[in-house]
Amino acid sequence: MQISSRFTIAIHILICVDLFGRDEPATSESLAGSIGAHPVVIRRILGQLRRAGLITVARGREGGAHIARPLEEITIADIFHAVESIGDDRLFSFHENPNPSCPVGRNIHNILDGHLASIQQAMERTMESTTLADVIAEAREQMGEED
């Protein structure tokens, strides 16, 4: 299992918007330079974040992306749900055709479903308890150590 890079790109975008957006517009081009991704990818993710109500995007001289809510009110779970689509709310995919003639194949869902649900719930609780404010505070700390 691997979560796509959209999630970490979205967090990177939001950190840059908060840290640098007051000094210069946070555009898809400027963000792409920090992230190392094509501006089209950035625009797509900005659109997802905008639709989720996490950012606003304006055109013109004072344009660019702006965080729409207080940092303390945006959780990592909010960001994850804005950019990742997990079908039927399950993080883990199951192989489609376990062999019903095999005792393991016949029982694999009974064996794993509860464990996988517990793992996903633990991850979601952690994501819900971590705010964008927490991550940005850590970014400021790390960047201060670089100076």
Residues 105, 99: contact at Cβ < 8 Å? yes
- In this predicted model, what pLDDT tens digit does every residue of 33-75 receive, in sequence order? 999 999 999 999 999 999 999 999 988 667 899 999 999 999 9
Q: Which is nearest to 120 in space by CA: 111, 128, 110?
A: 128
Q: Where are the domains of the chain?
A: 6-146
Q: Give the pLDDT of residue 130.
A: 97
Q: What is the pTM of this model?
A: 0.85
- In this predicted model, what pLDDT tens digit does every residue of 69-121 receive, in sequence order? 999 999 999 999 999 877 667 778 778 889 999 999 999 999 999 999 999 99
Q: Are strands 55-58 and 64-67 parallel, antiparallel or unpaired?
A: antiparallel
6-146 CATH: 1.10.10.10
